Structures are given as C-alpha cells and as structure tokens.
C-alpha cells in the first residue's frame, strides 16, 4: 500500500451514472439514474427529466421542501429498501456559509448526492520524545466502519450549528473534552473527496482542526460511539495509514493532511507528495 491509495479509494465514482439534482435552479446534488426513475413517481415533489431531477417549483420554502423530501425518502425506505432516516438534519447549500435551500436527513444525503460537511479534530500531545496523536477506535456496532480507527473527535455538520458549536458538542460527547480546552482548537483547512456508496454519491468536505491537549489529559467517550483511545507516536500513526486499512476510509485523508502540514511527509522522501496535496482537495463542482 501507499498513502496515495487512500486518495484513490475515496475518489472512486462514475458521474455518467448520475444526473444533477436542482433546487430553485441551483445544482445542489446528483441523483443516480435508477433513483431518479423512482423519484418520478412523486410528481408533486420532483420533476424528473433526462437531464436532471428538479425539486417542484411550487415548493418555495426551505421547511416545506425539507418535509416533502423526507416524506419521499421514508416511502423509498419502506418500499425499496433505501437508507432509513436517522433523525439528524444536514443543511443543503450550493456553497458552505450561504443560506440553506432546505435540509435533508443524514441517512439519505448520498441518495441525493448532497455535499455533506463535517469536523475532524487531530488531538495531539507534544512530548520530548516526539509528538503523539490520540486515536479512537470506533464502536463495533457503528453502521459505518465498525471497529476502525478514527480521529480523537469527528462528526457530521448538522443544521443549526456553526462549525465551532458542533466541534464543542462532538468534543464533549466523543472525548469528554472540557469546553475551554475545545475552544483552543485551531482551524487548519479542509479536505474534500467524492466517492460512490451503495445508494449514491458522497461529495464530502471535512473541516480540519488541530487541538493540542495537555500531557495529563486522557479522552473518555461518553456517547458510546468510541470503544477506547490510544495515544500513538505520530510516526506509528503514519505507518498505519501508509501500510494498512485500519483507519476509517476518510480519516486517512485527514491524517495525511496533518502529516504534510507538520512536516512528517517531505517532498524529498515522498514521491507522491504533490499528488497527495492535490488529491486532498478533490470533489465535484
């Protein structure tokens, strides 16, 4: 294996299998052709053409759009086995920071190819013998990547919260990090990728933060989503990313970004250095 293998794995998709999803004239997602045929059965919500799936123009308010799409998604789950609704809403935007045109349930984000956002926190400790990262191990009952290694804190970006509000919430739930310590997290950029899953497309953006924690701090999970935490030397984390698939698929990208920014990967020794930098900022426009 190699670092760049994770870039490739997170960007496998065939856009010829999809058509644009438009709301109020703006492309906000992509829908697989077979899903589009199903959506055509709901003409009061969707207008399906050969070139795209349009939300019905009479649905003009974000709340009514959200309610209508959730109702269809619940029907599709019952009748066709598409993903179930999870009760957590993600904002639908053409660009992060703009007003949402609607919200969509987290469970069906990929069904509509909506760009989802999340926060990932690299929790690190400075030590005389070398820096170390706190690494979590995901619970065995997680739907996605059960038992895989993960960042100290990570979570999807729900509607109604700023990134820092979400970071503080996830930090408390996933690692029992006091609010004052979480507030010192430093935004360091974003990583993006686009991959297909079982039902659709995931053009995701992960906002990355570095959080230096005291040497005597030990994270403790409080929401049952992380089995345990291990403080690993950064060099060992780098080896695991380079040589294995033990980390959740997209977490590899966040750690590669950390390794580049902190000088653990060098253009003199890593032949794919420029490819890695370019590959961490992929997606679908």
pLDDT tens for each residue of 8-23: 999 999 999 999 999 9
Task: State the average pLDDT over residues 67-95.
Answer: 96
Which pLDDT tens digit goes with each residue over 75-86? 999 999 999 999
Q: What is the pLDDT of residue 285?
A: 47
Above 80 in pLDDT, residue 283? no
Residue 97, pLDDT score: 85
Label residue 282 by pLDDT band (50, 70, 90).
Answer: confident
So what CATH class is 3-11+116-279?
A: alpha beta
pLDDT the model gives residue 284: 55
Question: What integer is the mean pLDDT of 160-181?
Answer: 97
200, 187, 205: which is closest to 250 by C-alpha?
A: 205
Across 52-67, average pLDDT? 97
3-state secondary structure of 45: coil
* pLDDT beyond 90 at 240: yes
- Class for the domain spanning 15-112: alpha beta
Provide the H-helix boundaries in the chain.
Answer: 3-9, 33-39, 62-80, 163-175, 179-182, 234-243, 251-261, 273-279
Q: Where are the domains of the chain?
A: 3-11+116-279, 15-112
Query: How far is Cα of residue 182 from the mean position of the Cα atoms in its chain?
Result: 20
Residues 151, 257: contact at Cβ < 8 Å? no
Q: Where are the beta strands (DSSP E) in 141-185?
A: 149-150, 153-156
Largest Cα–Cα distance in the chain?
64
Give, rounded to a whole angstrom, the gap between the first and last alpha carbons of the chain. 29
Query: What average pLDDT does this structure show over 141-158?
Result: 96
Q: How confident is the model at residue 95 (pLDDT cuts 50, 70, 90)?
A: confident
Query: What are the backbone angles phi and psi of residue 266, rounded to the nearest 5°?
Result: -120, 145
Contact 65, 105 (CB under 8 A): no
β-pairing, 102-105 with 186-196? Answer: unpaired
Average pLDDT on 220-245 reads 97
């Amino acid at each position: 294996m190699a670092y760049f293998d994770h870039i490739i794995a997170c960007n496998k998709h065939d856009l010829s299998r999809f058509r644009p999803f438009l709301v109020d004239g703006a492309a906000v997602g992509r829908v697989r052709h077979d899903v589009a045929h199903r959506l055509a059965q709901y003409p009061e919500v969707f207008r399906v053409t050969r070139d795209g799936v349009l939300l019905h123009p009479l649905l003009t308010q974000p709340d009514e759009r959200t309610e209508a799409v959730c109702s269809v998604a619940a029907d599709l789950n019952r009748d066709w086995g598409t993903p179930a609704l999870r009760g957590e809403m993600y904002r639908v935007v053409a660009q992060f920071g703009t007003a949402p045109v609607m919200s969509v349930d987290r469970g069906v984000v990929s069904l509509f190819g909506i760009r989802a956002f999340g926060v990932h926190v690299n929790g690190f400790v400075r030590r005389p013998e070398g820096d170390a990262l706190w690494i979590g191990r995901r619970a065995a009952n997680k739907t996605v990547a059960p038992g895989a290694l993960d960042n100290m804190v990570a979570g999807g970006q729900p509607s109604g919260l700023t990134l820092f509000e979400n970071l503080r919430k996830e930090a408390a739930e996933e690692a029992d990090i006091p609010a004052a310590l979480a507030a010192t997290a430093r935004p360091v950029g974003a990583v993006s990728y686009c991959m297909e899953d079982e039902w659709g497309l995931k053009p995701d953006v992960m906002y990355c933060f570095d959080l230096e924690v005291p040497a005597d701090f030990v994270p403790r999970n409080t929401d049952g989503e992380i089995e345990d935490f291990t403080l690993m030397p950064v060099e060992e984390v780098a080896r695991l990313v380079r040589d294995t698939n033990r980390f959740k698929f997209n977490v590899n990208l966040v750690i590669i970004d950390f390794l580049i920014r902190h000088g653990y990967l060098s253009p003199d020794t890593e032949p794919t250095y420029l490819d890695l930098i370019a590959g961490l900022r992929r997606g679908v426009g």
